[in-house]
Amino acid sequence: MLQTISPTRHSFATMLQELVDVAGPPGNEKAVREVMKKWAEPWSDEIITDRLGGLIARKGLSGPKVMLAAHLDEIGFMVTNITEDGYLRFQTLGGWWSQVLPAQRVEVHTRKGKLLGIIGSKPPHLMPNEDRKKGINIEDLFIDLGLESREEAVELGIRPGDFVIPYSPYTQLSNPHRVVGKAMDNRIGCAVVTEVLYRLSQGVRHPNQVFAVGTVMEEVGRRGAKTATAVVRPDVAFAIDVGIATDTPKIGFTPTHLHLGKGPVLALYDAGHIAHQPLLQLAREAAEEEGIPYQYEVVQRGGTDASHIHVYGTGVPTLTLGVPSRYIHSHTSVIDQRDVDHLVDWLVALTARLDRLTIDKLTR
Q: For the chain, 364 residues long, give each residue's pLDDT as a single digit of tens.
A: 344 444 444 699 999 999 999 999 999 999 999 999 999 999 999 999 999 999 999 999 999 999 999 999 999 999 999 999 999 999 999 999 999 999 999 999 999 999 999 999 988 787 778 777 777 899 999 999 999 999 999 999 999 999 999 999 999 999 999 999 999 999 999 999 999 999 999 989 999 999 999 999 999 999 999 999 999 999 999 999 999 999 999 888 888 899 999 999 999 999 999 999 999 999 999 999 999 999 999 998 889 999 999 999 999 999 999 999 999 999 999 999 999 999 999 999 999 999 999 999 999 8
pLDDT of residue 136: 87
pLDDT of residue 1: 39
On whether the 12-74+182-362 domain is CATH 1.10.1040.20, my answer is: no
Cβ(346)–Cβ(283) below 8 Å: yes
Residue 142 has phi, psi (to 5 degrees) of -155, 170
Domain edges within the chain: 12-74+182-362, 76-166
Name the helix (H) or strand (E) containing 31.
helix 30-40
Measured CA to CA, the distance from residue 126 to residue 78 in angstroms comes to: 28
pLDDT of residue 130: 78
Q: Which residues are catalytic?
A: 218
Measured CA to CA, the distance from residue 272 to residue 290 in angstroms comes to: 30
Amino acid identity of 364? Answer: R
DSSP labels, 307-330: HHHTTSTT---EEEEEEEEBS-SS
Residues annotated as binding site for Zn(2+)? 71, 185, 219, 241, 329
Total Cβ atoms within 10 A of residue 253: 6
What is the CA 99 to chain-centroid distance, rounded? 22
The pLDDT tens digits of the residues spanning 244-286 come to 999 999 888 888 899 999 999 999 999 999 999 999 999 999 9
pLDDT of residue 124: 79
Strand intervals (E) in the chain: 46-49, 55-59, 65-71, 76-82, 88-93, 105-110, 113-120, 142-144, 163-166, 171-172, 178-181, 209-215, 236-244, 265-270, 273-274, 295-298, 318-325, 333-336
For 63, 103, 110, 127, 363, the CA distances from 121, given in Å and listed in that order, are 56, 8, 23, 11, 53
Q: Which pTM does this prediction carry?
A: 0.93
Residues annotated as binding site? 71, 185, 219, 241, 329
On whether the 76-166 domain is CATH 2.40.30.40, my answer is: yes
